[in-house]
Amino acid sequence: MSTPPLLEVSGLSKSFGTLKAVNNATFRIRQGQVVGLIGANGAGKTTVMRMLATLDMPDSGHIRINGTDVVDHPELVRPLIGWMPDYFHPYKNTSVREYLDFFARAYGITRERLLDTVDEVIDFTELGGLQDQMINKLSKGQTQRLCLARTLISDAQFLILDEPAAGLDPKARIEFKNLVHLLKARGKTLLISSHILSELGEMCDSLIFMDAGSIVHDGDMEDLLHRQTESGYAFEIRTAGDTTAPLEEWLALHQGWNVRSVQKQVVVATFASCEPDAVAAELRQLCRDLPVIDFHRSERRLEEAFVDILIHRDQEPATAVSPETPSTTTAL
């Protein structure tokens, strides 16, 4: 039997005046998943997250965390949630340790546990060398680590991080990604928003794409990157030698193959069948005929996947997203 979802969102909607900020959003997150919430500025990500975090009330729909309705029983679900907002108020004359100490007390951490709890989050987010630094003097990356440290104080199992990697330089982004992997290894469940696809692609198991308030796709990364196109899976093939002509000729002569592009000795071609046995038979034959040195399934860039999803969505009649099927929305 599959694990029950940690989070179940169904038919969630919220408007601000005439603006439908979130429109009938339905998705699920399982315990231990790292899920990216992608969408352009204004797509509705923060509005969804604020409702999950019990900070805003939905107009309609349901949110259940561990089976508990967050609107009916916010007091029961709040201890399960760690919320990292996309803004930070740098208090004056407050050091990193004082800031975290303040939040630990606010969370009701007992005096006996206080020191250890603050030490643990400082250690985890590698803020040890900065614990006496005034927080208004921290760099962007250090500030984000402090915000994460604050979110981790309560040891909540479900972490909702709104644009945590925004404005980080590449090094700080890698550090942040590593922290996400560590949190996952500790069994945490994470929902992380961004408007930059590649940022989330590196750290998430699954992506939810939002566009203008609606969820337009929800699926795992593997599915998104290797999704079958109408003409089959795409393969990148390379043969020894300085010309791709024999390979192109082979592909033209064999049924089901369709050359999509040729670049730097690599031929990208689709094959009509996705059946492993059929693909294996083709590969065996190809290796018999030509000196193949590389053959692998082509990974689509996330940006391409997103554009593909939006194009298909525009062409298809609207369909409701089943709660059984995770959904994803993205903006770039």
The per-residue DSSP string of 96-140 comes to HHHHHHHHHHHTT--HHHHHHHHHHHHHHTT-GGGTTSBGGG--H
Shorter beta-carbon distance to ligand ATP: residue 206 or 214: 214
Binding site for ligand ATP (CB under 6 A): 16, 19, 21, 39, 41-47, 195
Rounded least distance, CB 26 to ligand ATP, Å: 17
CB of 19 to ligand ATP, least distance (A): 6
Q: State the nearest-atom distance from the C-beta of 130 to ligand ATP, in Å.
A: 27
Between 45 and 184, name the residue whose CB sits nearer to ligand ATP. Answer: 45
Please report how close the Cβ of residue 48 comes to ligand ATP at its closest, in angstroms: 7
To which H or E segment does residue 20 belong?
strand 19-30
DSSP β-bridge partners for residue 211:
214
121 or 203: CB nearest ligand ATP:
203
Nearer to ligand ATP, 63 or 234 (CB): 63
Q: 31: helix, coil or strand?
A: coil
Taking the CA of residue 266 as centre, how many other CA atoms within 13 Å lie in the half-sphere pointing to its CB?
Answer: 11
Task: Give yes or no for a contact between 262 and 237, defined as CB atoms under 8 angstroms apart.
Answer: no
Minimum distance of ligand ATP from residue 15's CB (angstroms): 9
Buried b (16+ CB within 10 A) or exposed e, 137-147: ebeebbbbbbb
Angstrom distances, CA of residue 130 to CA of 123, 155, 175, 178, 265: 11, 22, 16, 19, 50
Q: Which two tokens stand for residue 216?
A: 């337009």
Judged by beta carbon, residue 50 or residue 97, the one nearer ligand ATP is 50
Nearer to ligand ATP, 46 or 154 (CB): 46
What is the closest distance, in whole angstroms, from the C-beta atom of residue 44 to ligand ATP in the complex?
4
